[in-house]
Amino acid sequence: MKALGYTGANITIQPVLFEQATPSPTEHDLLVNIEAIAVNPVDTKVKARLTSPLENPKILGWDAMGTVEAVGDEVTLFKPGEKVFYAGDITRPGCFASHQLVDERIVGRAPTSLSPTEIAVMPLTSITAWEALFSRLKIIAEQDVGKNILIIGGAGGVGSIAIQLAKVVARLNVVTTASRPESEQWCKQLGADHIINHRSDLIGQYRNLGIADPDYILCLNNTDQHFLAMAELIAPQGMICSIVETTEKHDLDSMKSKSAGFVWEFMFTRPMFTTQDMIAQHHLLNTISQLLDEGKLKSTLTKTIGPLSADNLNKALQQLIDGSVTGKLAMTALT
């Protein structure tokens, strides 16, 4: 198999193309022949942590679509020849390669109505948004219809699907943030009810909408910057979830009188710790696949850069670092 990998030592290092033996799947693993991949901020973060030379190149990438080529002896959910999509496991080699081993319990059946690149951009962000909304914030569809959610950073990859899930599945009133005219328009197209600017006064802008304070806040952009505003805005007995790590200490006591809560979402938790419920990612990806095929959700793909190569990968990751990406970026298979 072919792969693009990193051998060290800082964020500017170039990926190298190399070949190694194609692995054989055992136990719950699938061997997937990759057809398309997407990039995510986690790629840039893991790459930045490669500060020492590596003997074997590290393969990044955690968003893929492909065909099952072989299965392990304990696999029950898939057969060779089936199309799948998944985000994988951050503790294992990634998808910037021609083939990859991935546990069947975190893999979904690919939608049948979309192109490979339209599919490849969906797994990581869909899992993150679904878990944040329904596992961490504990939103209950039907019961919580009409409640308010504030999504900080709505135009990025996770925000683009979180807006849709909050509207289509949970049927919430969605307030989201965007900082550029094109990202504002993107959020409107995805179904946001109100849009405010996260580079300005969040509290004042939200309160000027004339609606009740948010029952839920999903922070996808700079937790440190927005913590005080979130603590002020969250409704009594509300919940805040963030996916963005902090570098500062924050006063949780500021939410005590509201009996409000703060929780993290990290979509790799289930595969990283092999939790008893890790198969939940299989089920939720199948649900996402069905909603995409039914036209209730739309792919968040905004640009296909070309085939996976060192140059194209560098271009894609640099765009993520620059913060200029609306939606998701994808590439076709490694050639």
**pLDDT tens string for the chain (335 positions)?**
999 999 876 555 789 999 999 999 999 999 999 999 999 999 999 998 888 888 889 999 999 999 999 999 999 999 999 999 999 999 999 999 999 999 999 999 999 999 999 999 999 999 999 999 999 999 999 899 999 999 999 999 999 999 999 999 999 999 999 999 999 999 999 999 999 999 999 999 999 999 999 999 999 999 999 999 999 999 999 999 999 999 999 999 999 999 999 999 999 999 999 999 999 999 999 999 999 999 999 999 999 999 999 999 999 999 999 987 899 999 999 98
Three-state SS at 216: strand
Res 324: pLDDT: 79
Res 12: pLDDT: 59
Outline where DSSP puts E strands in the chain: 2-5, 16-19, 29-38, 64-71, 83-86, 99-103, 107-109, 148-152, 173-177, 194-196, 216-219, 239-242, 261-264, 301-307, 328-332
The range of the structural domain enclosing residue 179 comes to: 125-264
Last residue of a domain, one of 264, 286, 320: 264
Asked if residue 254 and residue 325 are part of one domain, the reply reads no
Res 39: pLDDT: 97
Asked if residue 150 and residue 38 are part of one domain, the reply reads no
The upper half-sphere exposure of residue 26, i.e. CA atoms within 13 Å in the direction of its Cβ, equals 1
Alpha-carbon torsion 176, 127, 40, 37, what sign? negative
Per-position b or e across 143-152, b if 16+ CB within 10 A of its CB: ebeebbbbbb
Asked if residue 14 and residue 103 are part of one domain, the reply reads yes
Asked if residue 278 and residue 259 are part of one domain, the reply reads no
Res 9: pLDDT: 61
Q: Residue 260's CB: how many other CB atoms inside 10 A?
A: 20
Asked if residue 282 and residue 259 are part of one domain, the reply reads no
Asked if residue 129 and residue 78 are part of one domain, the reply reads no
Last residue of a domain, one of 264, 281, 302: 264
Asked if residue 321 and residue 283 are part of one domain, the reply reads yes
**Looking at the whole model, is its pTM more than 0.85?**
yes
Phi and psi of 279, rounded to 5°?
-65, -10
Side chain identity at residue 185, one-letter code: Q
Asked if residue 194 and residue 146 are part of one domain, the reply reads yes
Res 10: pLDDT: 58
Among all chains, which residue has been given the structure tokens 């790629």?
43
Last residue of a domain, one of 264, 296, 323: 264
Closest of 88, 120, 91, 40 to residue 313, by C-alpha: 40
Asked if residue 46 and residue 29 are part of one domain, the reply reads yes
Domain count, the chain: 2
Asked if residue 257 and residue 136 are part of one domain, the reply reads yes
Asked if residue 209 and residue 255 are part of one domain, the reply reads yes
